[in-house]
Every structure is written in C-alpha cells, then in structure tokens.
C-alpha cells in the first residue's frame, strides 16, 4: 500500500526545504530548472497529489459548491443537477450534492454542516416541509455570513437572494389555452403535491385562462390533493359523473396516471380526451401516447443557477446584487392533443 506522499516527504527525500518543493511543484520562476525537474520527476514518480483540504484551508476557498435537492427521483431535479454539474465542471468547480428528501430537518442539518468551510456557496431548492413551515432562518443565517445562495424552482419572498424560477402562472395559462384552442370545452386540472406555491400558481394560470375565455370554472373538474394515493379513483370518479374532453395535469406523475386511467377506460386520446402535462420528462415522452407537455428546461435552469453563483463567487457580481431569473417554458406538442392548424 503506497500511502499518499506529502510535500514534506519529498523535501526530506531530496534534501531541500519544504518551500522549495512547493514552489517547484507550482512551477515558480524562483526555482532553478534543475531542482525543479528533479522535484517534479520525483513527485510524478511517487504520484504526488496536493491535499485539497490543506489548500482550501489556506485559500479560504474550496472551489466546491453545495447542491441541495429535495428529491432525486424527480426527473426535473435530476436534469437540473446535470445542468449545474456541467457549468460547475467547466469552471473548475466541484459539486457536493445533498438530498433532503423534502425534510426540513435534513435541509437545516446539511446546509449548516456544509457551510462550515466545506463549500463556497449553495444552489438550493427548498424542501416542501420547509416551505410549509415557512421557516427560513437557516438560509438567512448562511446568507448573513456572506455565503452566496442561489435558489431554484421553489422560492419564497422572505428569502432575499438570487433565484431561478419557472413562470408557472403563464405556462399553465398557455397550456390551458392550448387545450381550449384545440376545442376542448370541459377542461379538468389535476395536481398532486398541494402545499407548494408553485402548484398553486399553476392552478391559478389554469383558472386565469378559463376566465379569460369566459369559461366558468367547474369545481368538479379540479382535483387537487397531496400525494398520488387514490388519485386513480378520484379521476375515475370525476370521469364517471362529468363530461371531460381535456385534462391539464400539473406534474408528470399525474399526467402518467391520468393516461393510464384513460387507456384503461378505452377512452381515445386525443380524440375523446386531450391531455397536456407539465414538466416534460421521460414519463411524458415514453407514455402511450406520448404526452403533449409544458417543457421546463430543467437543464437550463441548472446552468443559469450555476453560472450566477460562480459569477458571484468569483467577484464578477457583487454579493448584494440580487436577481431573479425566469426561465421560459415551451409547449411540446406530441400525440395526446389534437393537431392545431392555426398557430397562435
């Protein structure tokens, strides 16, 4: 077992001083070519690698950023992570990813843990529990210490920092309008995970579209619940006693479940009922039929967040310069809605 070698050992082995070794390895002009190459060769031979910890302790910079993800099984977050990861790597930053599983306690613990020298800044998405409790002290504390944070997707006005979000109201509005334009008269909306304001915004957008086109919202067509348990039954029940020819689902899982229900009932999609989903992921792409869906550009969200954070870390943007960036969405037409010939 060849334990990792240190600068000190190299110095001893070659009978030079520690600082000479340090300088030689950093290719300093102060060191003679001869000693330099002697040291560098020895280092290479023994696979010397500098200790990251010691470096970070010295520079007060770790070149790593902490990523807080509520739920990695969520395809949107996984894609956002990729975007973050891409930019971080490009700019020479490491990322340390933590999953909170939507738990407040876990979120507080990990963020406190990491903000003690381990990371230079955070890219975080607040957990549902935190959002419900409206307790953001841990975040504000970290901000106060001068550690920059960029919040993405789920945000709150009580936190004053950079944010990267989706325009939920507008996107939901456009999705609903699309259903109306494709001649749906009775449009239902389905939303799991109540309690997060982004879902409320999506319902708002739906209602706004209806109102705008003089359709009176029908309460029986609005299914909002926490979690997916029993969703199948509720959809079936709704379908049993209501005329429905369009369904807007506020998240991917709802979309998939809705599709399953319709298929099971042998209802033709989109001939009899159209579906528009939200957050275009694998489920939308690979369902039968593939779902028309509001694409959220998760990857871009991640990229923008990472770019912003790194700019701040590197002083390109001042700490107090706070900005909220809105990432546009785009409706991806697939086979769960009727083809529209008039674009609008």
Provide the 3-class DSSP secondary structure of residue 64.
strand
Partner touching 230 among DNA, a copy of itself, none, CB below 5 to 8 Å by kind: none
Gap between the Cα atoms of 251 and 327, Å rounded: 17
Cα→Cα distances 118→66, 89, 143, Å: 8, 17, 15
H-assigned helices in the chain: 7-14, 18-25, 33-45, 52-59, 75-90, 104-114, 128-133, 137-144, 168-181, 197-212, 231-241, 252-264, 282-286, 298-313
Q: Which letter does DSSP use for residue 227 in this model? A: S
Gap between the Cα atoms of 196 and 46, Å rounded: 54
CB closer to DNA, 47 vs 318: 47
CB closer to a copy of itself, 207 vs 309: 309
User: How many CB atoms are closer than 10 A to CB 40?
Assistant: 17
Gap between the Cα atoms of 53 and 68, Å rounded: 22
φ, ψ of residue 190 in degrees (nearest 5): -130, 130
Q: How far is the CB of 105 from a copy of itself (least distance, A)?
A: 11
Partner touching 257 among DNA, a copy of itself, none, CB below 5 to 8 Å by kind: a copy of itself
Partner touching 22 among a copy of itself, DNA, none, CB below 5 to 8 Å by kind: DNA
Query: Which chain residues interact with DNA by CB under 7 A?
Result: 6-8, 15-20, 22-23, 25-26, 28-36, 49-51, 54-55, 57-58, 60, 117
Partner touching 89 among a copy of itself, DNA, none, CB below 5 to 8 Å by kind: a copy of itself
CB closer to DNA, 46 vs 338: 46
Q: How far is the CB of 145 from DNA (least distance, A)?
A: 12
Partner touching 18 among DNA, a copy of itself, none, CB below 5 to 8 Å by kind: DNA
Query: Which chain residues interact with a copy of itself by CB under 8 A?
Result: 1-4, 47, 49-54, 56-57, 62, 64, 72-73, 75, 78-79, 81-82, 85, 89, 94-99, 101, 106, 110, 112-118, 141, 144-146, 253, 256-257, 259-260, 263-264, 282-283, 286-290, 319
> Taking every pair of C-alpha atoms in the chain, what is the biggest distance, in angstroms?
89
CB closer to DNA, 23 vs 177: 23
């Amino acid at each position: 077992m060849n334990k990792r070698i240190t600068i000190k050992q190299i110095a001893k082995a070659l009978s030079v001083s520690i600082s000479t070794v340090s300088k030689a390895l950093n290719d300093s002009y102060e060191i003679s070519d001869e000693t330099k190459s002697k040291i560098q060769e020895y280092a290479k031979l023994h696979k010397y690698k500098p200790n990251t910890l010691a470096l970070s302790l010295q520079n007060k910079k770790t070149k790593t950023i902490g990523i807080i993800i509520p739920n990695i099984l969520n395809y949107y977050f996984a894609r956002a992570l990729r975007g973050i990861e891409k930019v971080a790597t490009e700019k020479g930053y490491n990322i340390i990813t933590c999953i909170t599983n939507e738990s407040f306690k876990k979120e507080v613990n990990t963020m406190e843990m990491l903000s003690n020298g381990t990371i230079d800044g955070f890219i975080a998405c607040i957990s549902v529990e935190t959002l419900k409790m409206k307790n953001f002290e841990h975040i504000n504390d970290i901000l106060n210490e001068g550690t920059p944070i960029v919040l993405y997707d789920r945000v709150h006005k009580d936190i004053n920092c950079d944010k990267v979000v989706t325009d939920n109201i507008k996107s939901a509005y456009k999705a609903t309008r699309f259903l109306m334009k494709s001649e749906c008269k009775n449009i239902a909306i389905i939303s799991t995970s109540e309690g997060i304001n982004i879902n409320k915004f999506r319902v708002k957008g739906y209602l706004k579209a209806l109102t705008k086109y003089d359709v009176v919202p029908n309460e029986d067509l609005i299914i909002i619940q926490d979690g997916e348990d029993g969703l199948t039954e509720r959809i079936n029940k709704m379908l049993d006693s209501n005329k429905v020819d369009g369904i807007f689902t506020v998240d991917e899982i709802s979309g998939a479940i809705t599709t399953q229900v319709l298929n099971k009932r042998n209802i033709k999609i989109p001939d009899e009922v159209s579906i528009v989903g939200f957050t275009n992921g694998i489920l939308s792409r690979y369902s039968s039929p593939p779902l028309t869906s509001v694409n959220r550009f998760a990857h871009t969200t991640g990229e923008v967040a990472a770019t912003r954070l790194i700019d701040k870390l590197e002083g390109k943007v001042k700490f107090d310069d706070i900005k909220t960036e809105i990432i546009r969405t785009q409706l991806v037409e697939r086979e769960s809605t009727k083809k529209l010939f008039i674009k609008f």
